Amino acid sequence: MSRRVFPSLFPEGSPMTAPSAAVAAEPLLDLQPEDRRARLRHVLRDLGETGRLWRLCWTLGWLDVKLRYRGSVLGPFWLTASTAVMVGAMSLLYTTLFRIDLRTYMPFLSLSLVLWGFIGGVVNEGATCFTAAEGMIRSMRLPFALHAARCIIRNILVLLHNVVVVVVVFAIFRVWPGHQALWALPGAALWLLDAVAACLLLGTLGARYRDIPPIIASLMQIFFFISPIIWRPELITRGHAWLQLNPFYALIEIVRRPLLGEQASAHLWRLSVYDSVLLWTAALLLFMRVRARLAYWI
């Protein structure tokens, strides 16, 4: 007594090929253990449903930011304020220590720190994006990518608050990237795609192995120093090949260089695309395999 019970209800092919529109709109939940192709379809449906729930993603992400600062005088602008203090302090420290020109270093540093803040936020919070949504996951069926989207939207909003600092610094030092800055847009699009994959991959790992989030946090601290964030990649004269193994190097450069009015080489773009394909493959393979089990792990 298996599937043959339902021939009249679920004709061969898609169960959604119903005769009338009214019936087709009827939600149907049909769950059973799946083979690889069904799993892939289910993941794609998960992503599609998340897209349809964009209003919810947006609201949740925004509420996360708002609630963090509810009751404080500055509200989310505490983000802006603390970034401004950090940029100011680090610029003064490094320009004095290493006798660098503040005029060129401070715009570079402000942009780098703000961009890295986004990357670090997505990666660190991505590792807990499912475990943090435990209550929601256990109380209703929702697409899992929704939690990834929430994490990304939250970090985009944080980024937008921090961008104010960069704009002010650029204005003070009269830095104008010109039309070159438009090249940051495809870079940002790639970042967005990578952010989704990173959240799905790390969130899944973090749900299964609770040691992952703290490991990621300490790894990201190391990456902050070994990636060209507070220093320019041109400073590395020997062993440049090693730098290319750092996935953050190329990804940062394709967005940062255009915004500083410089050109991001085709080589940097190639590296970024390789990294992204690798990341997406890993994320897709893992998420496909364990999506149905995630609720059990939370």
Partner 1 sequence: MDAFPSRSDAGVVVQDLHVTFPLYHGSARTLRRTLAKVASSRFEQDQQQRMVVQALRGVSFSLRPGDRLGLVGGNGAGKTTLLRALAGIYEPVAGRVIVRGEINALLDTNLGMNSELTGRENIALRGLHAGLTPRRIRAIEDDVQDFADLGSFLDMPVRTYSSGMVVRLGFALATSVRPRVLLMDEWFLAGDTNFMMKAQNRLEQLVRQAEILVISTHQLDVVAAWCTQVLWMDGGTIRLQGTPEDVLPAYLADEPAVEGDPARDKAEAG
Binding site for partner 1 (CB under 8 A): 1-2, 5-6, 9, 18-19, 22-23, 26-33, 52-53, 55-56, 59-60, 63, 67, 70, 135-142, 208, 210, 292-293, 295-297
Task: Specify the residue, 1 or 97, whose C-beta has the smaller distance to partner 1.
Answer: 1
> Shortest Cβ distance from residue 65 to partner 1 (Å)?
13
- Nearest CB to partner 1, comparing residues 35 and 234: 35
Residue pair 133/209 in contact by the 8 Å Cβ criterion = no
Closer to partner 1 by Cβ: residue 211 or 234: 211
State the nearest-atom distance from the C-beta of 239 to partner 1, in Å.
Answer: 41
> What is the nearest approach in angstroms of partner 1 to the Cβ of residue 176?
40
Q: Tell me the closest approach of the beta carbon of residue 217 to partner 1, in angstroms.
A: 19
209: Cα separation from own chain's centroid: 20
Tokens standing for 152?
A: 């990304």
Q: State how far the Cα of 102 lies from the Cα of 106, in Å rounded to an integer.
A: 5
Task: Give the DSSP letter of residue 140.
Answer: S
Residue 272 to residues 249, 266, 292, Cα–Cα distance (Å): 9, 10, 31
Least gap, CB of 59 to partner 1 (angstroms): 6
Q: Determine the Cα–Cα distance for residues 82 and 84; give it in Å rounded to an integer.
A: 5
Q: At closest approach, how far in Å is the CB of 56 from partner 1?
A: 4
> What minimum distance in Å lies between the beta carbon of 78 and partner 1?
17
**Closer residue to partner 1 in complex, CB, 208/243:** 208
Nearer to partner 1, 151 or 251 (CB): 151
Between 188 and 292, CB nearer to partner 1: 292
* Residue 185: C-alpha distances to residues 129, 160, 178, 179, 247 (Å): 26, 15, 14, 11, 19
**Which C-beta is closer to partner 1: that of 270 or that of 293?**
293
Q: How far is the CB of 9 from partner 1 (least distance, A)?
A: 6
Backbone φ, ψ for residue 170 (5° rounding): -60, -40
Q: Helix 247-259 and helix 184-208: axis angle, to 10°?
A: 150
Pick between residue 113 and residue 127 the one whose CB is nearest to partner 1. 127
Reported for 159-165, long-range contacts at CB under 8 A and 24+ positions apart, including other chains, are 159/114, 159/117, 159/118, 159/121, 161/65, 161/76, 161/77, 161/79, 161/80, 161/83, 162/79, 162/80, 162/83, 162/114, 162/117, 163/114, 164/80, 165/80, 165/83, 165/84, 165/87, 165/110, 165/114
CA distance linking residue 290 with residue 284, whole number of Å:
10
